[in-house]
Amino acid sequence: MTGVIVLLLTVVVLVGLSLAGMLSAGEAALLRVTRASLTEALAEAELGQSPDPDRADRIRRAQALVVDPTAIVASFALVRVMSEVVAIAAGTLLVQQAIPGREVPDELPVMLIALVVGAVIGVIFVRVSPRALGFRRPVAVLVALVGPLTGVSRAVAWLTRLSVPRHDPSPPTEAELRDIVDRVGESTAFEESDRELLRSVIELGGTITREVMVPRTDMVTVAADTSLDRVLRLFLRSGFSRVPVIGESVDDVVGVAYLKDVVAAVHWPVGAAAPEPTRRPAGDVARDAVFVPESKPIDDLLREMQASASHIALVVDEYGGVAGLVTIEDLLEEVVGELTDEHDTVPVQEVEDLGGGTFRVPARLPVDELGDLFDLRLDDDDVDTAGGLLAKALGKVPLAGSSAEVGGVHLAAERVEGRRKQISTLLVHRTEPVGEPDDSNGGPDQQDHRDQKQDQKKEVTS
C-alpha cells in the first residue's frame, strides 16, 4: 500500500510541476507575442512553407488567445499557483513517506526539507527556464502549447470573468512606451540609432509646432510688389525654393512664391504674348498660404501636410500674428535628425587668416573674439555672434553676399550651410587701418564700401 501511495504522490508532483511550467511558459509567450508576428506566421503556414499541415489551425487558435490577454493570463496564473501548491503538498507527503519511523512531532524537519526542495525545483524548472523560453520564442511556444492552454483558459474562464473585469484596454502611456523602447534597445538586435528613432516617433505627439518652426526673425520673405527677376535672384542667393510673399508687413502674408512658378513666369515659351514678364510682381504668382497655430502637435501637422501635399505653412500665434514658418522637412527632422543635401559642406569651426588683413570666421564666433582679431571693442547687448552682428546691421536675414560695416569692421556673408540656408562663414577685415586718418574725399576702399552699401540697399527685402 505504501508503494502505491508513493507512486501516486510522485505522479501528482510531476504532473503539477509540468502543468505549472507549461503555464509559466504560456504566460511569458502570451505577454511577448504580437498579433503581427502571428499574422506573419499564419501567412507562411497557409502558403505551405511549414511541413506541419495543422500549423495554420493552431495559429488561428493562438490568435484567439491574444484577443483578451489580460483574462487569459489571469486564468493561467490561477491554475499555475494551484498546481504549484498541490505539487509542493504532494512532495511534502512524499518526503514524509520516504523517511519511515517519523512521528507527528518530528514532521517539522520533513516540512523544511520539502519546502527547500520545492522552492529550488519551482524556481529553476517552473519559473526561470519556462519563462525564459517563452520570452525567447513566443510564437513557437504559444503555437506548440495552444491545445492545453486553450483547455485551461476555457476551464476557468467563468472564474476569471468574475475576478477580472472585461473592458477595452487603455492605450499605453508615453512613459510605458518609453520603457518598451528602452527594453527593446537593450537587445543586441537593435542599434542605438534605432532606439533613438523609435523614441523620436514616440515623442512626436508631445512636440508642438512652435518648437520646430523657423522663427519670424529668421524668415526670408519677399515683398508682393517685387519684380519676378529680382525674386529669382533671391531664390538663387538664398537657396530656398519657397518664400513667403508679404504686403505691408510680415503679418500681411499675401501667399507663397514657388521657384518653379517664378521660373515658368520669367522664361516664357517662344511666341507667348507676355511682354516684359520679369516686371510682373511676385504677388501675381504667389500661391495661397497655409496657416497653422503654433500650439498644433507636429504629428497632426505632418499628417495634414501630407494629405494636402503642402510643403510649407505659416505659423500664427494666439493673437493672429505670424510667429514663423514650418516646412515638412522640419517635421521629418524631428524623427530622422538633421537633413542635408549634396551642396551642404562641413562648416568652418576655426578662424582662418586669408592674408591682407582678411579673416574667414564662423558665423557663431563670439562678438568679443571678433573684436580681438582687430584690437577693437565690439560690445553689443543684443547679439552674441558675428552672424548676429551682421543681421542686426542689415535689419534682415543675411544672405550669401550681404555685407555691412560695424564698428570699423567690414562683415560679408560668404556661404550658407544646411537645409535652412543659414550663414555659416563670414569674411571680415578692418575698414580703417590703424594710424591712417579717415579720407573724407573717399579713397578706393571707401568708394568700394559705399558701392557695397548701395548694392545692399538694392537687395530684395528678405
Partners of 255 in the beta sheet? 245
Give 245's pLDDT tier (boundaries 50, 70, 90): very high
Could you say which DSSP state residue 161 is in?
A: H
Per-residue model confidence (pLDDT) at position 453: 42
C-alpha distances (whole Å) from 314 to each of 66, 93, 207 are 46, 79, 17
The most confident of the ranges 110-114, 122-126, 238-242, 419-423 is 238-242
Question: Residue 173 — pLDDT band, cuts 50, 70, 90?
Answer: low
**What is the set of domains in the chain, with CATH numbers?**
2-163 (no CATH), 174-206 (no CATH), 209-336 (3.10.580.10), 352-457 (3.30.465.10)
Q: What are φ and ψ of residue 352, in 5° steps?
A: -120, 125
pLDDT in tens, 359-413: 888 888 888 888 888 888 877 777 778 888 888 888 777 777 888 888 888 988 8
Which pLDDT does position 256 carry in this prediction? 92
- The closest of 368, 361, 350 to 387, measured between CA atoms, is 361
pLDDT above 70 as % of the chain: 73
Residue 214's beta-bridge partner residues?
A: 325
Which grid coordinates are listed for 118? Answer: 520545492
Residue with cell 569692421: 409
The sign of the CA dihedral 314, 318, 319, 324 is negative
Sheet holding 242-246, edge to edge: 222-223, 242-246, 253-258
Whether residue 303 has pLDDT greater than 70 = yes
Instruction: Kindly tell me if the per-residue pLDDT of 452 is higher than 60.
Output: no
Say which residue, 286 or 166, is predicted with more confidence: 286
Residue 222 near residue 282, CB atoms below 8 Å: yes
Quick one: which H or E segment has residue 189? none
Q: How far apart are CA 31 and CA 24, in angstroms?
A: 11
Q: Hey, is 115 helix, strand or coil?
A: helix
CA–CA separation, 416 vs 402, rounded Å?
Answer: 11
* Tens of pLDDT, residues 13-57: 888 888 888 888 888 888 888 888 888 888 888 777 666 778 888
- Count CB-CB contacts under 10 A for residue 124: 12
Predicted pLDDT of residue 447? 42
pLDDT at 373: 85
C-alpha to C-alpha distance for 205 and 359, rounded to whole angstroms? 45
Least confident range from 158-172, 202-216, 393-407: namely 158-172
Q: pTM, whole model, 2 decimals?
A: 0.50
Amino acid (1-letter code) at residue 339: L
194 has pLDDT over 90: no
DSSP class of residue 224 equals T
**Residues of 155-174 as b/e, b for ≥16 C-beta within 10 angstroms?**
ebeeebeeebeeeeeeeeee
